[in-house]
Amino acid sequence: MSKLSISTRMILVLTLITVLSGGILAGWDMFTKPRIEFHRLEALKTAIGEVLPAHDQYESRETESGTLYIGTNTGSDQPVGIAFMAVGSGFQGELRIMVGLTPDLTQLTGIKVLEQIETPGLGTKIVVDPSNKQDPFWFPAQFKGIHVAPEIIALKNAKPSTNNEVQGITGATISSKAVTRILNEQIANVKAAWTTKGGPES
């Protein structure tokens, strides 16, 4: 080893280390990849399951406005609902919301905020509200059955009176309105993509 010139040694040793590193990682990748993929699909399935009515399978369909997940039951080709991932900015950063819609895209069947970095104790109530012991999920739960036309509205300090309104969170108006804004924008996109694709029957 010491007979070699220093630059040859440098190249040799670095190559050796890199090859070793590549080898370890290639093996580790083969070992962990299936499990990581499994967890990813499992998380997706759980999220879709939470926002759509009971179904036993779903198919993914790529459209201009992202992937749509269409839930169906075996033995029936009537979809129970259509889910998609809505992404947009909230109070502090990006929100990722799984949204469930009825097959005719007129009502919500549920929403679930999957990722957010809102203010703990205020904006995080869009996911869960620990201060409401009876009903910690009151905010996301309101969206079930809400009509999307003409648009979904989050009210400040008032009870909803029509079927397109939900009650906003006190102290987190921006977070509440961010959710409805993202929903309104992206449901419109999904509607457009859905009609160009030939409608629900395609």
Partner 1 sequence: MNYFLIFFSAAIVNNFVLSYFLGICPFVGVSKRVSSAVSMGMAVTFVMLITSVVTWLIYHLILVPFEVEILEYVSFILVIASLVQLVEMFIRKVSKPLYDTLGIYLPLITTNCAILGLALFSVLREYSFMESVVFGLGAGVGFTLALVIMAGIREELELAPVPKYFQGAGITMIVAGGLALAFMGFAGMI
Partner 2 sequence: MSTQLSLKAEFVKGLWRENPVLASLLGLCPTLAVTNAAMNGLAMGLATTFVLLMSSLMISALRNFIPYQVRIAGYIVIIATFVTVADRFLAAFLPEISATLGPYIPLIVVNCLILGRQEAFSSRNGIGRSLLDSLGMGLGFIFVLVALGIIRETLGSGSIFGVTVLGDWFTPWMVMILPPGAFLTLGILIALANWYNDSSSTTPRSTDKKAIS
Binding residues vs partner 2 (CB under 8 A): 1, 6, 9-10, 13-14, 17-18, 20-21, 24-25, 28-29, 31-32, 35-36, 39, 43, 119-122
Q: For the CB of residue 193, give the shortest distance to partner 2 in the complex, in Å.
A: 29
Tell me if 127 contacts partner 1 by CB under 8 A: no
Give 187: exposed, middle or buried? Use CB within 10 Å, 0-12, 13-18, 19+.
buried
> Is 26 among the residues that bind partner 1 (CB under 8 A)?
yes
Whole-angstrom distance, CA of residue 44 vs CA of residue 42: 5
Q: Which is nearer to partner 2, 4 or 141 (CB)?
A: 4
> Is 38 an interacting residue with respect to partner 1 (CB under 8 A)?
no
Residue with smaller CB distance to partner 2, 21 or 106: 21
Q: What is the dihedral of CA 192, 59, 97, 124, to 10 degrees?
A: 160
> Within 83-112, which residues bind partner 1 (CB under 8 A)?
89, 91-94
Cβ neighbours of residue 165 closer than 8 Å, sequence gap 6 or more: 146, 152, 153, 154, 155
Q: Which long-range contacts (CB under 8 A, 24 or more apart) does 42-46 make?
A: 44/69
**In the complex, what is the shortest distance from the CB of residue 57 to partner 1, in angstroms, rounded to a whole number?**
28
